[in-house]
Amino acid sequence: MIISVASGKGGTGKTTVATSMALALQACDHVTFLDCDVEEPNGHIFLNPEFTETENIYIEVPKIDPGKCNLCGRCAEVCAFNALLVAGEAVITFPELCHGCGGCRYFCPVGAISPEPKQIGTVERGVAGRLAFVRGRLEVGAALSPPLVDAVRKNRGPGGITIVDAPPGTSCPVIHSVRGTDFCLLVTEPTPFGLNDLDLAVQMVRSLGVPCGVLINRAREGWGIIEKYCRQEGITVMMKIPLSQEIAEAYSRGVSLAKFDRGWNDAFKQLYREIGGLVANERSHCNQR
């Protein structure tokens, strides 16, 4: 089963939850943790992996042959990302804007464009105890992260359990992280901002056809706006983590909940079992339809 952990906004405790679940399940066979927050990966702070392998990730950007180019401008017309510009007697390329789709090469009538590799980041693999650990690191200044997220996602373990720590928000990198997973656990906080961004995240996962549940972090008595929303939307609240100075102090030291207290370790095991039950029910309903 592949479980993605996401949030509509940053700072909700998403990585705390993802790493705690991975640690609670590490006794199982073939547990893999994928840190897809490639712009700011921090799963290593809680899991302390030993890295054994690094792979450079590239996209193909256009290279113009001035001897063949007739300055027709077709390449600039078809580029949806404005990565090419015909200016006077030359075609100017902007590799930072290129998404590597290859449309300019395909439509060039004189074959003046060839692919040129451009590194956008690295994928690092290692082990953290019994866990397989994989993370992506975007190059400084690189603007395009979805291909790097896809490269991390390809490292899913052989069967077993895969935990995907998605970036915050609901933009393209998050969609590439969550798409195709069996379940998405949405981590939120009981504030108006948390509710607003949770609603955006719920719309995202529903558009992807991924079943979801909610975990409320920093839960407080009398702050029930998330529960009310989940009842209205028919979404299961899977777990609540209370607002706690002790938990915050452990977090600041890089100590996950699963290591902070044995009770939380057992709670995350139970959370995984409940997610498995929801996934099984969803698959059963799909088969009946």
User: Residue 267: its pLDDT value, please?
Assistant: 94
User: Residue 217: its pLDDT value, please?
Assistant: 95
Mean pLDDT of the chain: 93
Task: Band the pLDDT of 238: cuts 50, 70, 90.
Answer: very high
- pLDDT, tens digit (0-9, with 9 covering 90-100), for 110-165: 999 999 999 999 999 999 999 999 999 999 888 889 999 999 999 987 779 999 99
- CA-based torsion, 212, 33, 31, 258: positive or negative: negative
User: Residue 239: its pLDDT value, please?
Assistant: 96
User: Residue 108: its pLDDT value, please?
Assistant: 96
- Using the predicted structure, report yes or no on whether residue 96 has a pLDDT greater than 90: no
Give the lowest-confidence range in 5-19, 43-57, 155-169, 247-261. 247-261
User: Residue 120: its pLDDT value, please?
Assistant: 94
- Using the predicted structure, report yes or no on whether residue 85 has a pLDDT greater than 80: yes
- Using the predicted structure, report yes or no on whether residue 187 has a pLDDT greater than 90: yes
Contacts of 282-286 with C-beta under 8 Å, sequence gap 24+, read: 282/211
User: Residue 251: its pLDDT value, please?
Assistant: 87
Task: Express as a percent the part of the chain with pLDDT over 90.
Answer: 79
User: Residue 41: its pLDDT value, please?
Assistant: 94
What is the SS3 string spanning the chain? CEEEEEECCCCCCHHHHHHHHHHHCCCCCCEEEEECCCCCCCHHHHHCCEEEEEEEEEEEEEEECCCCCCCCCHHHHHCCCCCEEEECCEEEECHHHCCCCCHHHHHCCCCCEEEEEEEEEEEEEEEECCEEEEEEEECCCCCCCHHHHHHHHCCCCCCCEEEEEEEECCCHHHHHHHCCCCEEEEEECCCHHHHHHHHHHHHHHHHHCCCEEEEEEEECCCCCHHHHHHHHHCCCEEEEEECCHHHHHHHHCCCCHHHHCHHHHHHHHHHHHHHHHHHHHHHHHHHHC
- pLDDT, tens digit (0-9, with 9 covering 90-100), for 27-37: 887 899 999 99
Task: Express as a percent the part of the chain with pLDDT over 70.
Answer: 98
What are the structural domains of the chain?
2-56+122-182+243-288 (no CATH), 66-111 (3.30.70.20)
- Using the predicted structure, report yes or no on whether residue 257 has a pLDDT greater than 70: yes
User: Residue 286: its pLDDT value, please?
Assistant: 63
**pTM of model > 0.95:** no
- Using the predicted structure, report yes or no on whether residue 284 has a pLDDT greater than 80: no
User: Residue 150: its pLDDT value, please?
Assistant: 96
- Using the predicted structure, report yes or no on whether residue 289 has a pLDDT greater than 80: no
User: Residue 285: its pLDDT value, please?
Assistant: 64
Q: List b or e across 175-184, with b for residues whose CB sees 16 or more CB atoms inside 10 angstroms.
A: bbbbbebbbb
Q: Read off the tokens for 250.
A: 């452990």
- Using the predicted structure, report yes or no on whether residue 40 has a pLDDT greater than 70: yes
User: Residue 59: its pLDDT value, please?
Assistant: 93
- pLDDT, tens digit (0-9, with 9 covering 90-100), for 72-81: 999 999 999 9
User: Residue 231: its pLDDT value, please?
Assistant: 96
